[in-house]
Structure 1
């Protein structure tokens, strides 16, 4: 018994996990300390202009960054994005206690070195805490800078973004006040002046002026770099980028909405927005639940539009009605309009956003119903394939769909919609468990195929496959009818030629000899008998010619001996030299219809002839196997096999056509794959007619 043991993680991963756990512990401790410091100072400093801010919001914001970052480190190790989230999250969490100790000093009136360091940390070093979002935009999702010209753009963006923290950290305190009394008082009281560089005031003034615009430009460049990664990206990479886009939309929406609300709500909104961003990054990098973003994205678009529409309604009502009625009437009218318009507007917006992102897959009944109508109106197989491709493209928001149908004769009929894409997914096109073709589709804006989507696709395929096969059967039936008429006329023409060119001259010659013998019987009896003997000899040729014609129509051996013995007779005739042919009939095969007997005999004869001519075999076997539904004819040899470059000849085409006429099939394969002499296995399946049901006796 083999014991399965878990493979221990590498040392580097263990080291990163230790770092991640340490960052989480530091952040948790900082959060606890921040909450305690707020509980001590918040009430005393309420309304005080020197209040440094709430410590808990900074600490919790860092915590919501460091926890997903630590989970990401635990999963993927030293991934740059995971490192940025974890380390910067811990630094952000420490910003909370730094604010708390400054507030505590303001309450107690006791200045300390701890308060000075705390002030320096949140007032100066805290400016660097804006960098992680910038860095993540440039590194997301693979942890590497973009290539080519975009790498230069990324470096420029980092340089511009670094200008703001450099200005805050290195600038002397006298230049940071900006003429604001409270700020200058705090700087004079708490700032330790650590790392300050005494450059000329003009230099620091210039840097202070361009620092914030540079940060804005850096953010724009970082967003442009992120968008550029979509070009030529895989479907999975685009889904990762959509997670970041969705988180960014939520973050911006929360900031915009909360800006009209109290400060405490703004702090909560900012923390929640950061949480959305960090969790989205975790999902995108680990690729866990990657494609669930699409529904979230559609809902986000819907509710963003809803909020905007409601705000517009409120503003419009207040502008139009507010001057006429009092506030209570205006509010009532606004409420009625919002209630009446909200439900239908919400549904319409959701359908529009969902269709934009997901296609029409969320309304499977409509998709199936529309396809059924299109298939009924389609003219032929190719038109039906086109309608199937259009329905799939519409249902799954796919830019390219190609449907391929394999015909029994080996040809492939195709139809496609959209522009061919480099990356496509291949799905089988099946009917009644048989592979009849394939669907090549470019995955849409929501690449994931959920179980519900698979059921919809399966319904579309089954519906279309039944209609397509019905059209193919009608086409084949019409072709068979035309083939039967053509074959009948060709057979009549052949018999006419055979009778006219073969039997006609022979019978004409015999008649002339008989007339000559009649004329000579009285005058030259001996010569008359000689002419009669010649006529008798020629009649033997007539009999042989008639037998040949009859054999071409139906081998007499089938009537005289039956199929099994007729095939054995043919095998004995073709055996000889180094080739030995045997016939195996495991169980009785009669009775058979005349059509099946002739087809089986011809297929066996043609296949054995190919073995003699081309296989170079020493042994061959013919098997006749009857099942409830078909007669199976197998011809197997130990010859050189089928060449990969060989082209189907007249014999192979004849085998297939004889089986196809009866609704059967012929398969050619290697008898012993991988062997030096793989041989050939010809397997013909000829369906047997279903006997008519007898009338029930009352």
Structure 2
């Protein structure tokens, strides 16, 4: 820990010293006579000496083991040393101070220790400090060797250094090295250039094989390197004044460590895709408007002499009129090129077509989410759907690590889930439009999941009921009937020898047959309560209430269409729901009074049976956060019986205290609706 703290202090002190050296070099230049000064007062190396050490120290304070940060720091120090040695060595040569030749010697070749690592090691080791794969290690060794050979060759060549009209011989020059000068300036330089291009190509290899995070990091550095290359190439194609060329190149070179810092620490907060999009749009816009403006002026001057001012005014008006339409068209073209869609109606139409072509709601949600993410131009998006049991299911697309913004998905006033997006990196209006369409798909996914759970529960309940019937028939009714048959055979055999004993056996046999009949009735009652066939739904519910010693049960049949002949499934479901509600009121609610209301009513052209069972008991338990605990088997059974018929059953608190169960059971489908 102490050693790491000492290294951090050394890094910071060196960064401050580099800044001071650059400033001192700029000031020292004015103390040198003008004929001995360098032609170029400001070069990109000055920016490198100011920015690179500071950014390197900043990164090392947060990532002490980051190789790229150490490399940036070193490049900055060498650049600062280079820019300060240039005026110092010139001043020493002019004033003939001791060691002036050696100062000039270092100032001539030391730039290789910052320039060559910048174009070779930095792209080869970015971003994790290692080559893309072990196969690239020979290139790394070659780069180290080339840096050493170029520096040594430049340092040992027997040449003379010029300082204005003065000539300073190389104090370390060797005579035999003169024969190596063609090799240093020819094949060695060509190999160095080839190695630099190979190192840049390694970035493309990383980008193709890397994951979303690494691709985003490489995109930051690639964007800035592309800007440096374009500006550097422009000086070769067009004769640009030194000041106009140096300033943008210096800014671009300074952007290299800044882009690396953003890519390493904050790549998820700043969207490189948006920056590239805007750069292409406004760069093309500047080219088109410039060609239009200057082309019109040149055409007018070529055709008619003396109307240059009028042509300039016409060109300005034409550019002003065409700017917004041209910008809109360019933005649309670049969006199509980068697969970004900003028209909400076009996005909604494409999303709807995608949903229609999906094989199921889950696949539809995945494809719709992918279309929405592409339209918003974000790296990742997710939809979180809450099921009815309190669980959460997450459907994601892309990079879902940093999704902090939530947009609720509402369907007919009810929240069915949330759309999760990266914060502040999308069009809010477009996201709202997409959220409304995604809410429909999320609701379908939720219904599908609920339907699957309901089917599984129905299947489990049916198989359990079959198992119970089989067990009752096999273990209860079967042996009993077999024993009755044996008893009849025994009575038949003893009928002539002992009639009185047979009479007693027949009486016992009759009692056993009565018990067997009761068992059969119990089995039948498990399938369908006989009271429904004998008394109807209202009478069966009244008989059920009369069998309860407590609480006091009041049956209310509200005016309206008579209950009459109800579908068998609706009768059984209603009877079972009322029975379960009364049982809960008696066993758990500590109620003294229960009211059961039943009525048939019409709802949007469909007839349904409405049941309301309300008690004055203690009510449902509520957790400290206001939620109701997970429903038990009885409450879940009531909901499932209603859902089987396409109805609903809600259990909640009763106004004034207690619990209220409200069930709506359809008796006939609505016009145009499928039959449950």
TM range, smaller chain: 0.5 to 0.7
Residues 422-463 of structure 1: CA deviation (Å, up to 9, x unaligned) = 989999985469785798x9xxxxx94527557754552334
1:148: how far off? Answer: 3.2
CA distance in 2, matches of 1:380, 1:686: 38
- What is the SS of the residue equivalent to 1:69? helix
- What is the SS of the residue equivalent to 2:587? strand
Q: Against the structure 1 CA distance between its residues 166 and 301, is the aligned structure 2 distance closer, same or farther, given a 3 Å change threshold?
A: farther
CA distance in 1, matches of 2:206, 2:595: 70
1:392: how far off? Answer: 0.9
Question: 1:31 — aligned with what?
Answer: 22
Question: 1:18 — aligned with what?
Answer: 9
- What is the SS of the residue equivalent to 1:591? strand
Q: Give the superposed CA RMSD.
A: 5.7
Question: 1:550 — aligned with what?
Answer: 530
Q: Is 1:205 aligned to 2:182, yes or no?
A: yes
CA distance in 2, matches of 1:249, 1:388: 35
Q: Is 1:69 aligned to 2:56, yes or no?
A: yes
Match of 2:329 among 335, 348, 352: 348
- What is the SS of the residue equivalent to 1:283? helix
Q: Is 1:560 aligned to 2:539, yes or no?
A: no
Question: 2:69 — aligned with what?
Answer: 82
Q: Against the structure 1 CA distance between its residues 288 and 425, is the aligned structure 2 distance closer, same or farther, given a 3 Å change threshold?
A: closer
Question: 2:243 — aligned with what?
Answer: 264
Q: Against the structure 1 CA distance between its residues 97 and 376, is the aligned structure 2 distance closer, same or farther, given a 3 Å change threshold?
A: closer
Is the 2:68–2:122 Cα contact (8 Å) retained in structure 1? Answer: yes
- Equivalent positions of 1:334-373 (< 5 A) are 338-354=319-335, 356-357=337-338, 359-360=340-341, 365-366=344-345, 370=349
Q: Which moved more, 1:384-393 or 1:148-157?
A: 384-393
CA distance in 1, matches of 2:446, 2:171: 86
Q: Is 1:395 aligned to 2:386, yes or no?
A: no
- Equivalent positions of 1:461-472 (< 5 A) are 461-466=435-440, 469=443
Question: 1:525 — aligned with what?
Answer: none
Q: Is 1:189 aligned to 2:170, yes or no?
A: no
1:205: how far off? Answer: 0.9
CA distance in 2, matches of 1:633, 1:82: 57
CA distance in 1, matches of 2:164, 2:425: 61
Q: Is 1:119 aligned to 2:124, yes or no?
A: no
- What is the SS of the residue equivalent to 1:167? helix
CA distance in 2, matches of 1:122, 1:314: 46
Q: Which moved more, 1:208-217 or 1:222-231?
A: 208-217
1:173: how far off? Answer: 1.9
Match of 1:300 among 266, 276, 279: 279
- What is the SS of the residue equivalent to 2:54? helix
Question: 2:500 — aligned with what?
Answer: none
Q: Against the structure 1 CA distance between its residues 15 and 297, is the aligned structure 2 distance closer, same or farther, given a 3 Å change threshold?
A: farther
Is the 1:59–1:94 Cα contact (8 Å) retained in structure 2? Answer: no
Question: 1:143 — aligned with what?
Answer: 129
Q: Against the structure 1 CA distance between its residues 34 and 203, is the aligned structure 2 distance closer, same or farther, given a 3 Å change threshold?
A: closer
Q: Is 1:110 aligned to 2:95, yes or no?
A: yes
1:221: how far off? Answer: 0.9
Question: 2:262 — aligned with what?
Answer: 283
Q: Is 1:251 aligned to 2:228, yes or no?
A: yes
Q: How high is the TM-score relative to the length of structure 1?
A: 0.60
Q: Against the structure 1 CA distance between its residues 226 and 248, is the aligned structure 2 distance closer, same or farther, given a 3 Å change threshold?
A: same
1:214: how far off? Answer: 2.6
Residues 100-155 of structure 1: CA deviation (Å, up to 9, x unaligned) = 1244357xx43224542332233122222212322211121122222132344444
Q: Against the structure 1 CA distance between its residues 326 and 159, is the aligned structure 2 distance closer, same or farther, given a 3 Å change threshold?
A: farther
CA distance in 2, matches of 1:407, 1:290: 32
CA distance in 2, matches of 1:473, 1:56: 67
1:15: how far off? Answer: 2.2
CA distance in 2, matches of 1:245, 1:685: 66
CA distance in 2, matches of 1:256, 1:339: 31
Q: Against the structure 1 CA distance between its residues 592 and 19, is the aligned structure 2 distance closer, same or farther, given a 3 Å change threshold?
A: farther
1:162: how far off? Answer: 5.2
Q: Against the structure 1 CA distance between its residues 25 and 380, is the aligned structure 2 distance closer, same or farther, given a 3 Å change threshold?
A: closer
Residues 585-611 of structure 1: CA deviation (Å, up to 9, x unaligned) = 34444224389999999xxxxxxxxxx
Q: Against the structure 1 CA distance between its residues 659 and 88, is the aligned structure 2 distance closer, same or farther, given a 3 Å change threshold?
A: same
Question: 2:194 — aligned with what?
Answer: 217
Residues 614-666 of structure 1: CA deviation (Å, up to 9, x unaligned) = xxxxxxxx999699xx9x974489xxxxxxxxxxxxxx999734444364479
Is the 1:428–1:438 Cα contact (8 Å) retained in structure 2? Answer: yes
- Equivalent positions of 1:225-236 (< 5 A) are 225-236=202-213
Q: Against the structure 1 CA distance between its residues 245 and 102, is the aligned structure 2 distance closer, same or farther, given a 3 Å change threshold?
A: same
1:209: how far off? Answer: 1.0
CA distance in 2, matches of 1:88, 1:372: 50
